[in-house]
Amino acid sequence: MVSRLIWFRKRIMAGNQMRRLIALMALLWLASLGWAQTGCEISNTGADSGIATISTTQNMGYSAPGGIGAVGFRIPVACVTGSVSYHVWRIDTNPSSAPTTYDIGLYCVSGDCATGGHGGALYVHTGAIYGSWFTNSRVAAKPAGLKASGSGKTVTITGPEGSFQPADFPIPGTVTLSNCNPFNGTFTITALAGTTAITLASNSPVTYKTGIACTVTSSTTYPPGFVNPSVCTNSSPSEPCQEALPWIADGRTVCASLPCTLPAGLYAAAIGTSCSDMLKPATCAQLLGDADRGLIYPFTASSTSYDAGGLPANMNFTVNNTTAIWNTTQGPSAPIKPVKLLIY
């Protein structure tokens, strides 16, 4: 009798242990659903097959009125992102003297991401990027005969009006000074004054000297952290046209730092631009788009506009899959081909 009681007690204890193990496994499974993944690696659309023109011109591009277009996608589990990539099909050819800009951003439409009043809010964006940098069609500008002067850890480059263009020298890019003793070397751009002066930061104090005629070569790597010296060409499926940009967190974004956690929810991947197909003979950027009949949520953004700082901090989105302004090499089976983005 005693041995039977001991056997039952062992069975009960074993059963309790098994139930505790099952409960623990269930908790871990539920936690895995709620916790953030290590990285996002999310594409907002299907396979590359379309070509999307990004333009403010209605009926000719990706943009809605105001220069902004967006497509939706779901994030089922919170994940972490720091960058976005895309494939350039046609480069932006607007000159540095009249540059256009592009901005990519992620907005929360609904779901967990809207908690705290963040519905319609911009979580992250690339910031306004000059067209030649956005499509990697940049060629290093190399003005000569500019004057350099130095004091402390600051070097100032000056020249006649129009001797260089701000679009060729983006902050915080770099420049290399040559034929410019004692200022030869590479410096970080800290400020621009129109088309007449560039302020540079030196890692060490520089000897004061002024009036030196120098050759100034602009950086060929922008934004910082994505070094790709190969210039992209039109209709190229090759790797140089696979562009990657880091997100930024600024006064417009929900995220205060990067990498950023994106809560679960329905998001709108938005692209804004100041480029117009009406600005012939220059061309706006074209990126690869989604497949025919892609499973997407197309949006138009209402009462918003693109400005010099890029995408706005908040937008209201309307789901509408028949809006005529969406046009990316339209066909009878694919009236909508928004830009394909990889968010990671």
Residue type, 257: S
Q: What gap in Å lies between CA 312 and CA 300, rounded to an integer?
A: 14
Q: Is 142 helix (H, G, I), strand (E, B) or coil?
A: coil
User: What does the H/E/C string look like for 270-296?
Assistant: EEEECCCCCCCCCCCCEEEECCCCCCC
Q: What is the pLDDT of residues 266-281, one digit of tens each?
A: 999 999 999 988 877 8
% of residues, the chain, pLDDT over 90: 38
Q: Kindly list the distances between the CA atom of residue 256 and the CA atoms of 207, 248, 249, in Å, as whole numbers in the listed order.
A: 39, 9, 5
pLDDT in the model for residue 333? 42
Q: What is the mean pLDDT of residues 315-339?
A: 53
Q: Kindly list the distances between the CA atom of residue 60 and the CA atoms of 84, 172, 183, 272, 278, in Å, as whole numbers in the listed order.
A: 24, 33, 48, 14, 10
Q: What is the pLDDT of residues 34-65, one digit of tens each?
A: 445 578 999 887 666 678 888 887 666 666 66
Q: For residue 28, name the pLDDT band (cuts at 50, 70, 90).
A: very low
Q: What is the pLDDT of residues 210-267, one digit of tens each?
A: 667 889 999 877 766 566 667 888 887 767 788 889 999 999 999 999 999 999 999 9
DSSP structure string for 159-170: -STTSS-GGGS-
Closest C-alpha to 296, from 263, 261, 267: 267
Strand partners, 83: 246
Strand partners, 146: 214
The mean pLDDT value of the chain amounts to: 79
Backbone angles phi, psi at 97, to 5 degrees: -75, -20
Taking the whole predicted model, whether its pTM rises above 0.75 is answered as: yes
Q: What gap in Å lies between CA 125 and CA 123, rounded to an integer?
A: 7
User: What does the H/E/C string look like for 51-99?
Assistant: EEECCCCCCCECCECCCEEEEEEEECCCEEECEEEEEEEECCCCCCCCC
DSSP structure string for 182-219: TS-EEEEEEEEETTTEEEEE-SS----EEEEEEEEEE-
Strands 68-75 and 297-302: antiparallel
Strand partners, 74: 266
What CA dihedral angle connects 47, 51, 54 and 56, to 10 degrees? -120
pLDDT in the model for residue 8? 39
Best-predicted range by mean pLDDT (81-95, 145-159, 173-187) = 81-95
